Every structure is written in C-alpha cells, then in structure tokens.
Amino acid sequence: MAQHFLLSKKYRDISEYELSRFTENDWFDYFRNIRFGGLDKSICPRCGAIDAHYFFKAQKRWRCKHCHRYFSIKSGTVWADSKLPLSKIAFIVEKFCSAANGISALRVSANANVQYKTAWVALHKLRESIIRTNQLSKLKGEVHVDGGHFGGKPRSGQFRHKAKPEEIAAKIKLGKSQGARRSRGTRANYERKKKNRRIVMVAREVVPGLGGTKTAVFLSSTENDKAAKYIADNFIESGSLVRTDENSAYSSYSARFTHETVEHSKEYSTIDGVNNNQAESYFSRLRRCEYGVTHQMQARYMWDYANEMAWREDSRWKTAKEKFDDLLFRTLSTGLTRWWRGYWQGYRRRDEMLIA
C-alpha cells in the first residue's frame, strides 16, 4: 500500500523544531530572500525602485536612493505597523500552514504567547493575503460544482422523544444509530440562528488521479440560478464537463456545458461513476473547521474561511516548506491590509462578500 504524502519524508522538508532554532537575524535574512528574491538588492515600497539602497544595520531599515524614504522589511505589507517580531510572525505562519483544518486564534494566542486580539487579526491577515493574491484562470476540463449550508445551525430542543420499538427496528435494519430524536427547538431560536446561515458555493477543476487541483469559492444567500449563472459566466470555460447535483439552480448548464448530474437524495455516485465528490471533499474540510476549530463562522467573514480551506485543498500536495514560503510571500507582496488595520478600534468590514 502506497504511503500517504503527509507521512512521507518528502513532505517534512521543514519543521517547527528547525524553525524554532532560527535567530531574529536569521529570520530577517529569510524574509529578505522571500520578499526581494535575494540579499543584494531591495525594493522601495513607495516608489518601486530596485536598488542596493542605503542600509542601516542597527535599525534594520533602508533609505531609498531615489525617493529618500525610509522603509523596513514590513513596510507596505500586511504586517506594517505590527509590533510582532519576525520570529513570531514566522511561528504563526507555520502554525497556520501545518493545520489541516485550520487553527483557532485561541490556540495561536497560547502557543505564540500573544494576546487573543493579536492572534485573531494575524490569522485574518493571512486569509486576506490568500484572497487578494488569488489569480484564478477559468476552470476547464472536468469541473465539480455544488453548494452547502454553513453557519446558523439551530439547536435541537430540550427533551428527547422516546423511540418506538418499530422505529428502532427500522433503524437497525438500515444500519443507523438507535438514538431517539430530540424535540424541535423553539421558533425564536431557529430564526435567530437562520440570520447567520449562508450558502458556500464551490467550483473545482478535477484532474484524474490528483483530484481537485484548482478551487474557486463564493458566498450566496441561497443556492439559486443567479449564483450558478455568475459562476458559469466568470469561472468555467465553455465546453467543459460540469458535474453537479440535481438542484434546479444548475438547469441552465446543459446549454453551455456537457452537464452531468447525480441525485444525492438517492446516491452519492451513479452506476456510471458520475459524482461531484471533489466539491463534497472541500465541504468536508470546511465543516471540520466550522465544527471542530472555529465552532462558529460569522456571515461577514465566512468567505475568508472558505478561501482559506480552498487554499488548503489546492496546496495539499505541496511540502511543508513550499506551503510556508508560499504563504509568507503572499503576506509580503499583498500590500497594506484593507480589512484589518485598526480592527479593534472599530474600523471593520461592514458588508458580506455575497454574489447573489
């Protein structure tokens, strides 16, 4: 039996233990290599000049030879104005990359010895970097599209109904749990939770033998034809093989693509092998994040979490160092954060990223 990639020596090309032995000067050179592509020259974030700018070793700052502005390794990045040392930034990035289903701000706060507020904003800066550096071309070939409910799960009622003997027998016959159903929750509870419920829609390009290799995610209020049309118009190449479930929102796909469907109320896959399992695979990871890591997702930031899981899905075949370098480069090349500067002072993103 072939060994899983995550268990292989190839994956473990860098570790938290090795990174913990780096000094602050080592991290300074590491960040320079990632951001500027070497130690000889640097790029002024103000005027964009590439040169061997004047370097002040004691301050670890440069002065541009062209516009005469001072800048540091963090200037013009999502880490600008942050007081975190480079070693802690690298530690947070490594923790983020090594977690299969995401990591909570509370865990990062404890492990990195920073305030919860600092950890919360740092993790969201990583998610923003992923979103703003995504350069998705149109999906082609075989594409799996689906939508799933996230957030706003109403609680069950207080009491358990006593199961009837015939109901237990029927469950045993189907191989299901014998537990009795709980009573329904209150209407007020249902309406309160429903306000935070959204549909995460996903489109994944599938390569035989590798699974999903390119993932695009969207946030919608419902799984409707308007949202499905937006995905088809902007993210799927004409003539592709598109596989969905039986939802009527995708009925227009037959006119534009080779459209195959699977009726999930009856089966996971048809007898001919038609399925949209790669979309379901993505939802599985996102649900594990929602239930086991974050425990809830605000509708305002649900798209951020959805993009994080898309990045994790698409980079699952990368080694630990490749993921670490990729995410670190994204944070250093995104520019100033648009959504998380002054978050705890009230400067917050007010709108959701809904497509329909």
Do 177 and 101 lie in one domain? The reply is no
DSSP codes joined into one string, 121-141:
HHHHHHHHHHHHH--PPPB-S
Do 147 and 281 lie in one domain? The reply is yes
Do 79 and 222 lie in one domain? The reply is no
355 within domain boundaries: no
Which mean pLDDT values do the consecutive 10-residue runs of the chain (356 residues) have? Answer: 84 92 96 96 95 95 96 96 96 96 96 96 98 92 96 68 71 60 66 84 95 96 94 95 95 95 90 93 96 91 97 96 97 95 90 89
- Tell me if residue 215 falls in helix, strand or coil: strand
- The answer to whether 69 and 46 have CB atoms below 8 angstroms apart is yes
58 within domain boundaries: yes
Do 284 and 203 lie in one domain? The reply is yes
Number of structural domains the chain divides into: 3
Q: What is the pLDDT of residue 6?
A: 87
Cα-Cα-Cα-Cα torsion 130, 134, 140, 146, nearest 10 degrees, comes to 40
179-to-56, 162, 164, 166, 265 alpha-carbon distances in Å? 69, 9, 11, 13, 22
Do 121 and 214 lie in one domain? The reply is no
Do 276 and 146 lie in one domain? The reply is yes
Do 177 and 60 lie in one domain? The reply is no
50 within domain boundaries: yes
326 within domain boundaries: yes
pTM for this entry: 0.90
- Kind and range of the H or E run holding 277: helix 277-289
- Kind and range of the H or E run holding 167: helix 165-174
Q: Which domain holds residue 180?
A: 165-194
| C-alpha torsion sign, points 107, 111, 115, 117 | negative
Do 209 and 266 lie in one domain? The reply is yes
Q: What is the pLDDT of residue 193?
A: 72
352 within domain boundaries: no
353 within domain boundaries: no
Closest CA to 281 of 175, 210, 194: 210
DSSP 8-state assignment for residue 8? S
Closest CA to 258 of 223, 232, 281: 232
Q: What is the pLDDT of residue 182?
A: 57
* Furthest-apart CA atoms within the chain: distance in Å: 84
271-to-141, 263, 274 alpha-carbon distances in Å? 21, 12, 7
Q: What is the pLDDT of residue 184?
A: 63
Do 267 and 147 lie in one domain? The reply is yes
Do 206 and 300 lie in one domain? The reply is yes
Do 148 and 257 lie in one domain? The reply is yes
Do 9 and 86 lie in one domain? The reply is yes
CATH number, domain containing residue 224: 3.30.420.10
List phi, psi (to 5°) of 51: -165, 170
